[in-house]
A and B are shown apart, each in its own frame.
Chain A
Amino acid sequence: SQTIHQWPATLVQPVGSPLSLECTVEGTSNPNLYWYRQAAGRGLQLLFYSVGIGQISSEVPQNLSASRPQDRQFILSSKKLLLSDSGFYLCAWSSNTEAFFGQGTRLTVV
């Protein structure tokens, strides 16, 4: 069966520090991969999606970047965090039908 791993679950980082959130998928090949951010009480904002290794599409301009170094690995990064980067980040993968989500990372920038 397919599983998706996302870590860490929580993270507190100072302003100006770098960020690296990792997401890996097991049990499937060539998945579509996504990074979302969710504001409190709101729906999901798509940040990046990838249809293959090295193929990244950005949905909104921001202080973040994404990379896909391997088929089932998706990384969300920042060189210098801003206070406004605080939020709940979710990784997801989809088949031709359904979408599946990781457990999320609560990022607090202080």
Chain B
Amino acid sequence: KQEVTQIPAALSVPEGENLVLNCSFTDSAIYNLQWFRQDPGKGLTSLLLIQSSQREQTSGRLNASLDKSSGRSTLYIAASQPGDSATYLCAVRPTNAGKSTFGDGTTLTVKP
């Protein structure tokens, strides 16, 4: 059974810092990995999707990497801003039709 872990559960940084969020999974036989952002009381917004054949994806100040063999993905946020404050979740899909397994998320606070 796939297990997805996100450490730390919470992170607080000053504005302008570069930071890395971690996601680890136990079964490396994945189809893709997706990073989401969730604002308080809201749904999830997709940030980046990495297929199993890819090593990384970039969107603006965000960069997500994937190392299947070690069961890890990282989300790198450059030059953090207070507007980046949210909970970030990763989800691992086992096959193209499979159900994703979600981590519990990392709650990020960027202080002005």
Count: A-B pairs, CB below 8 Å: 51
Cα-based distance from A51 to B104 in the complex (angstroms): 25
Mark A residues whose CB is within 8 Å of B: 6, 32, 34, 41-44, 46, 49, 51, 88, 90, 92, 94, 96-104, 106
Q: Which of the residues A43, A51, A100 comes within 8 Å of B102, measured between beta carbons?
A: A43
Residues of A contacting B: mostly = strand
Q: Is the CB of B104 within 8 A of A98?
A: no
Binary contact readout B40-56 vs A (1 if CB under 8 angstroms, 0 otherwise)? 01111110010100000
Q: Is the CB of A98 within 8 A of B46?
A: yes
Q: Which of the residues B36, B51, B102 comes within 8 Å of A97, measured between beta carbons?
A: B51
Contact segment of B12-20, B60-68, B70-78, B92-100: B92-100
Cα-based distance from A97 to B64 in the complex (angstroms): 16
